[in-house]
Amino acid sequence: DVKVTQSSRYLVKRTGEKVFLECVQDMDHENMFWYRQDPGLGLRLIYFSYDVKMKEKGDIPEGYSVSREKKERFSLILESASTNQTSMYLCASSLIGAGSYEQYFGPGTRLTVT
Amino acid sequence: AQSVTQLDSQVPVFEEAPVELRCNYSSSVSVYLFWYVQYPNQGLQLLLKYLSGSTLVKGINGFEAEFNKSQTSFHLRKPSVHISDTAEYFCAVSTNSGGSNYKLTFGKGTLLTVNP
């Protein structure tokens, strides 16, 4: 069975802290994605990676960075968390190539920054 | 740039009634279209996808969608809903971000609430 796991379901951090969100997939997918989901705004792409050590900015990269040192793992980093980064974060993965390949999603991490 | 518009943010219906969730997209090239469902406190799960061929696509849990190129629509339908269909539904279009890299552009979601 296809599996995308995220390190935490719920996380509470303080303003200014450095935050790491981890995502692991076991499907040998080339592509990995980080989204944030906010009520009424749907899913917005933060960053994606199509290969180890490769990354591209999505629609809302400001305040975030990413790391992909191994194919199966994609980390989202909040260098200095702020309250406006309180959100649900979703990780996904897919095969590379034709856009017909679906994305598989993890269960999400609900981050609260106080 | 691609965009996806889900015309209703909330759709309340009674159990066993039919439902249609509307989705329109903008694109100047061929597209791949998807519907995802998100149950409370879970990630997204694929319901169905349109790649090519027949414009009527059948998915899981009795859902189907019709691709209409002239109207740039991809509406989702179910003839009889259950309480368990209560969830948020997202329409998405796959867009080429360069080379062989594709990413999904999502609509803002439609919350389907099925009442007894």
Mean pLDDT computed over every residue of chain B: 91
- Give the phi and the psi of residue B19 in degrees, each rounded to 5: -140, 145
pLDDT (tens digit per residue) in A13-60: 999 999 999 999 999 999 999 999 998 899 999 999 988 989 999 999
> Which chain B positions have a beta carbon within 8 Å of A31's beta carbon?
101-102
By C-alpha distance, the chain A residue nearest B37 is A105
pLDDT (tens digit per residue) in B59-101: 999 999 999 989 999 999 999 999 999 999 999 998 776 766 6
Number of helices (H), then strands (E), in chain A: 0, 11
Confidence of residue A99 (pLDDT cuts 50, 70, 90): low
Beta bridge partners of B29: none
Residue of A37, A49, A54 to mutate, testing the B interface (most B Cβ within 10 Å of its Cβ): A37
- Residue B48: CA count within 13 A, CB half-sphere: 20
Q: Which residues of B touch A (CB under 8 A)?
A: 9, 32, 34, 36, 41-46, 49, 51, 90, 94-97, 100-104, 106-109
How far is B86 from B104, CA to CA, in rounded Å? 24
> Which chain B positions have a beta carbon within 8 Å of A109's beta carbon?
none
